[in-house]
Structure 1
Amino acid sequence: MKSAAPWIARLELSLVAALGALQSLVFVHTAAWPLQLLCVALLAWRVQPARPRRAAMLGWLYGSAWVGAGTWWLFVSLHRYGGLPAPLAVAAVAALALAMGAYLALAMGLYARLRRGRALPDALLWAALWLLAELARGALFTGFPWLASGYAQVDAPLAVLAPWVGVYGIGAALALLSALPVLAARAGPRGLALALAGVAVVLGLASALGPAAFTLGHGTLRVSLLQTNVAQDEKFAAEHLPGALAWLRQALDQARGDLVVAPETAIPLLPSQLQDLDPGYWSGLRDRFEHSPQAALIGAPLGSFEEGYTNSVLGLSSHTADREPYRYDKVHLVPFGEFIPPLFRWFTDLMQIPLGDFARGPLNAPSFVAQGQRLAPNICYEDLFGEELARRFRHPAHAPTVFVNVSNIGWFGPTVALPQHLNISRMRALEFQVPMLRSTNTGVTGVIDEQGRVTAQLPPFTQGTLDGVVQAREGVTPFAWWAARAGLWPALAVALLTIVLVVARVRRSE
């Protein structure tokens, strides 16, 4: 762009940033999935003629605006509920967005350096580098895969790829189909027409064929999913605790499902604190479910100052009557909210987040067996990491038949974080072809079937119980099989191998 007037160059940067921000809308309004293909295609159009430094800048702006516009709600948790001064909260969200955008910047800079001017090889190179950028964002420094591009395609034809290649594979396919017409257009109208026809055929076939079935029905389960709707600034307040605990106890007592689920930290007190407040509360819950045909999963913190704290789910059923309750401890913790990264104690000390430094649970937690089903709990943010949930499918005989997500997204208020997280859970159901139950504090509480369809849900920010029926599923998808054994390494290997083969082949033919 050296020959362009400075104002044109600045306009291009602004437009690319606007495209990144515009793409974030599709993660909520998934029916608008073609918009994402258009945004990525326009990014490819601007990166294609750019030199490496300029291409990296375009990628950085696009990626930063994408993450910033999609996760602005972090400001709510940091400022309103965390007590961080507003300017510092804004700076923290901006710093996160800029850091996450750096992955796409590196990918675009490499693309500009390695491209060779041939449509199909360059499109494959683009898709491989896009995949590398998303893998890096989702894995490095504990990972932040929120808004990985594949999540916006949960209602699109490309969703049929989920049980094969997972969300990152869908993102790579999206990048390939978006860039190919742009790169083919350099050969003239005929090249553009052929590429567009190819993209239309691929999307049409995917839509017509639908997903292959890898899991089979494994019985049905009547469920009661609780939505406590406790405002985050009241959740740990002493004057509000008795009322919230009384409602929870009543809802658990009156629930009719074979399985009753209460959200993350539905009981917001440690066992010793609960005992001091209401000595008979916990023993009453145990008696309720250990002497009935029903089972319950209840979110609560556990531990002590000496042994450390955990964000946990407790399971109660007739099988736990003579032993300790089932216990699942959260494994993938949220930086700053649940653990303190090295050198950042000063930052977390500025916030007012109770129990903000948890210990991690075991990697290979067993399922909670109840009503003939293997129920696999995961807590809030954990359902972003499909490769980690896949560990439970290593041995098919013990693989989950139902996922259960308990969450508290009350930290983010009435924002787009709620539907974004719902669509993330839907993608997990598609990848494993196993239903996902969601019990949340403020929403979205619902039942998701093995095809990612929401079959029942409660309105957000209402207090109540959702009664529904879910069909459990048994089996292992291709994604579950390879991710259980190798995590994301196969995806990384495919990306690197594609780059090596494309560059080497093009250079040999020159």
Structure 2
Amino acid sequence: MPDSPAADRLSATGGRLPGWARLPMAVAVGVIIGLGQPPYDLWYLAFPGYVAAIWLFLVTARGTPSAGTGWAVGLGYFGFSMSWIIEPFLVDAATTGWMAPFALIGLAGGLALFWGLAFWFAGRARYPALTLVLTWSAVELARAYVFTGFPWALVSYFWLPVPVIQWVSVFGPHGLTVATLAVAALLASALRPGPARFRTAVAGVVLFGLMFGGGMVLTPGAQDLDGRPVVRLVQPNAAQHEKWDPDMIPVFMERKLLYTATAPEPGRLSPDLIIWPETSVPNLLHRAGPVLDQITQAAGDAQVVLGVQRADQAGYYNSMLVLAPEGGVNALYDKHHLVPFGEYMPAAAVFARWNIAGLAARAEGGYSGGPGPQVVDLGPLGAALPLICYEAVFPQDVNGAPLRPDMLIQITNDAWFGTWSGPYQHLAQARIRAIEQGLPMLRSANTGVSAVIDGAGRVLDALPLGVAGYLDAPLPPPLRHTLYSRSGDLPVGLALFFAIVLVWGAARRIGRTESD
């Protein structure tokens, strides 16, 4: 992307957008980019939105106005795409409803600071468009790790409906972010006057085509599932405001037991594995013996994976159990990546003064975290990596498994996310984890969407949102051991760091030469 200083520096009266026009435009561009996220999936609007965001940056005065443009784009994007964040606060609206607008404004405004920082840094650089590609990609990577991380709605995720998303199996979501922003920067630069604009546009179009063509080559073919073991996903559809209602607990439990015990359709195999969603057992583990016996009896010869809460002297845990067909617990996994302000409260004693506690936690201060990623043995079915709810959002958590599993299992309670965008965005991220690893994902969600996903991210079968039921489907085999599953984020992180240092250093050397 030609980023010559002469072409970039416009006069004070030529080509600059005043703040009263620029900031509303930036917010609107952010909303357009947000249309690339589920349930809209309008990738063909989101990508031009990134082009428009970089163009706005290029016609913004350098310094603080650049940061303002980036923050406003981020505010529109995160405010629109993460509007579901108000839903958990409305479950008990009388107690926590007042927090909902503060949660949305705080989350959107806070995440937008990452983008504002990237735009500010690039606005001070000699080669602003190139630098913005690097800094914007770098802050997205930082967003996945800083303050326990929150990589929801990463830049590259809007590619999920098209083959371009398959590049995450090679470079991961952050590598695809770099490529996406690089192509967008070329096209945005081509919109500005200059002798190289035609060549820049051609380069952008060619790279855009290579992203699509390469994605098509990387897309694995459909797998032969004949004779594969059968898994059953159970979806009780327990609304969050009813889930712990003493009158409704027996209703939902009987529903899950019925779905577990139901014989397969004529001509179909019985399930080898039955999966219940997160926190689907109403008792703490040490009091759940009779319930577990009922589940084992209903499951017959199948293993059962289910979500349960447990307690010990160290605290409460959000856990997953594997029940053996003959009874007894085969494996236990404690969720290790907890949701701040949801499953635990930072500075809990301080917030307790205002009667503010974690939304999903049942003990003061919230849940305790487990030791980390853990692979569980499912016997003839292979090894599985458990992911409880929010853990499927983190690529690095999946890459952190102590050994390569044969499948990913996500149990979740998406009733917290409402019925619009949140559950679908969570499902989309589960699909991307499957692509990154080349592994099937079995996803049991309390209210949906429960799904069997293959290693190419295709949803092979699913139960719709808001439906009670179960589905039986063959377990897809693992695909290739992807490059990203071997390397993780380290190569992209190092490449961004050294690229930023080199670009900044080159600009300083040129500046000293010009001054001499």
TM-score of the alignment, normalized to the shorter chain, above 0.5:
yes
User: 2:149 & 2:319 partners in 1: Cα distance?
Assistant: 21
Matches within 5 A, 1:78-477: 78-81=89-92, 83-116=94-127, 122-123=129-130, 125-184=131-190, 185-188=192-195, 189-211=197-219, 220-254=228-262, 256-272=270-286, 274=288, 280-289=290-299, 292-304=300-312, 306-318=313-325, 321=327, 324-342=329-347, 343-346=350-353, 349=356, 353-355=360-362, 357-392=366-401, 394-395=402-403, 399-473=404-478, 475-477=480-482
Aligned amino acid, residue 270 of structure 1: L
Q: Post-superposition shift, 1:324?
A: 3.7
Of 46-55 and 403-412, deviating more is: 46-55
Does the CA contact (< 8 Å) of 1:83 and 1:350 recur in 2? no
Does the CA contact (< 8 Å) of 1:432 and 1:476 recur in 2? yes
Q: Post-superposition shift, 1:508?
A: 4.4
Aligned amino acid, residue 436 of structure 1: M
In structure 2, the gaps of 5 or more residues are 1-10, 264-269
Q: Post-superposition shift, 1:481?
A: 1.0
Does the CA contact (< 8 Å) of 1:230 and 1:244 recur in 2? yes
Secondary structure of the corresponding residue to residue 370 of structure 2: coil
User: 2:469 & 2:48 partners in 1: Cα distance?
Assistant: 40
Does the CA contact (< 8 Å) of 2:452 and 2:462 recur in 1? yes
User: 1:7 & 1:56 partners in 2: Cα distance?
Assistant: 14
User: 2:38 & 2:95 partners in 1: Cα distance?
Assistant: 27
> CA 1:471–1:6 in structure 2 vs 1: closer, same or farther (change >3 Å)?
closer
> CA 1:218–1:58 in structure 2 vs 1: closer, same or farther (change >3 Å)?
farther
Q: Post-superposition shift, 1:212?
A: 7.0
User: 1:82 & 1:132 partners in 2: Cα distance?
Assistant: 38
Determine the structure 2 residue equivalent to 1:64. Answer: 75
Q: Post-superposition shift, 1:109?
A: 0.3
Q: How many residues align?
A: 487
User: 1:459 & 1:451 partners in 2: Cα distance?
Assistant: 20
Q: CA RMSD in A?
A: 2.8
User: 2:216 & 2:392 partners in 1: Cα distance?
Assistant: 29
Determine the structure 2 residue equivalent to 1:52. Answer: 63
Q: Post-superposition shift, 1:100?
A: 0.7
> CA 1:153–1:491 in structure 2 vs 1: closer, same or farther (change >3 Å)?
same
User: 1:324 & 1:347 partners in 2: Cα distance?
Assistant: 40
Q: Post-superposition shift, 1:229?
A: 0.3
Does the CA contact (< 8 Å) of 1:383 and 1:424 recur in 2? yes
User: 2:225 & 2:126 partners in 1: Cα distance?
Assistant: 47
Of 182-191 and 33-42, deviating more is: 182-191
2:45 paired with 1:41 = no
Aligned amino acid, residue 106 of structure 2: A
Q: Post-superposition shift, 1:348?
A: 6.4
Determine the structure 1 residue equivalent to 2:36. Answer: 26
Match among 466, 475, 483 for residue 478 of structure 1: 483
Q: Post-superposition shift, 1:216?
A: 12
> CA 1:287–1:169 in structure 2 vs 1: closer, same or farther (change >3 Å)?
same
Aligned amino acid, residue 58 of structure 1: T
CA deviation digits over 1:49-99, x for unaligned, max 9?
321211101111111221111111111211333654544320122011111
Does the CA contact (< 8 Å) of 1:161 and 1:211 recur in 2? no
| Higher relative contact order (CA closer than 8 Å, sequence separation 6+) | 1
Does the CA contact (< 8 Å) of 1:331 and 1:363 recur in 2? yes
Determine the structure 2 residue equivalent to 1:17. Answer: 27
Does the CA contact (< 8 Å) of 2:235 and 2:447 recur in 1? yes
User: 2:351 & 2:298 partners in 1: Cα distance?
Assistant: 43
> CA 1:329–1:151 in structure 2 vs 1: closer, same or farther (change >3 Å)?
same
Aligned amino acid, residue 133 of structure 2: A
Q: Post-superposition shift, 1:2?
A: 7.0
> CA 1:202–1:412 in structure 2 vs 1: closer, same or farther (change >3 Å)?
same
User: 2:242 & 2:307 partners in 1: Cα distance?
Assistant: 17
When normalised by structure 1's length, the TM-score is: 0.88
Aligned amino acid, residue 161 of structure 2: D
When normalised by structure 2's length, the TM-score is: 0.87
User: 2:76 & 2:37 partners in 1: Cα distance?
Assistant: 14
User: 1:71 & 1:348 partners in 2: Cα distance?
Assistant: 25
Does the CA contact (< 8 Å) of 2:344 and 2:361 recur in 1? no
Secondary structure of the corresponding residue to residue 124 of structure 2: helix
Aligned amino acid, residue 340 of structure 1: M
Secondary structure of the corresponding residue to residue 375 of structure 1: strand
Does the CA contact (< 8 Å) of 1:82 and 1:351 recur in 2? no
Residue identity over aligned pairs, in percent, reads 26
> CA 1:238–1:67 in structure 2 vs 1: closer, same or farther (change >3 Å)?
same
Aligned amino acid, residue 151 of structure 1: Y
Does the CA contact (< 8 Å) of 1:103 and 1:134 recur in 2? yes
Does the CA contact (< 8 Å) of 2:388 and 2:411 recur in 1? yes
Determine the structure 2 residue equivalent to 1:495. Answer: 496
> CA 1:325–1:208 in structure 2 vs 1: closer, same or farther (change >3 Å)?
closer
Secondary structure of the corresponding residue to residue 466 of structure 1: strand
User: 1:54 & 1:286 partners in 2: Cα distance?
Assistant: 63
Aligned amino acid, residue 28 of structure 2: A
